[in-house]
Structure 1
């Protein structure tokens, strides 16, 4: 019983801290937005510099794409805690409409490609989605 109580307190504490981190002025992900997901598959010999990615590459992308919202995931494991992560990292870029993404990409493709070797030897997989919920 004591263990369940501790787990519930941890869950609610984390939930409340997430709620407290959001402000009314912060940009919000909304239904209908376009999300570009950039997945970096894991595998033998693949490298990824998370420090460079978070401090240099993604801020550069935010500048090129005039992003108000982006997010980064760091892979830590697969289905089970001891399984290797299927992706080293995943980046999320949010746009109001797909043309915002396409126009900025057309202008900055070469600069974006030139930055890849500075943090990874992985060819990313890209998916464009519409936010449903």
Structure 2
């Protein structure tokens, strides 16, 4: 086991020990430890460390599939696509939007806040 992972698991165990009378907190910490073991077991630990290193930065921010000048233009393009990835993101007039289908099959665009808006 990598020392970085071992250190993190030891920290989770120590935190759980500091909260013995808070079963929900202990369960949460144990679940986090299990998640780390799972990530390692599927061979994605290095990918996790890369993800962790950029989390919350512009590098981590979603990249749009395409850019459009208007929402109507984006929806028209989405209607012509045979397969759009789950949680697809498009850029409309400089802002990122999550693209999703309604039950009726129509495309809706939900604007994502920018990093600056989240930090402010």
Structure 1 length-normalised TM: 0.27
Question: Which protein is richer in strand relative to its size?
Answer: 1
Q: Which has the higher helix share?
A: 2
* Higher RCO (Cα < 8 Å, 6 or more apart): 1
TM-score, length-normalised on structure 2? 0.28
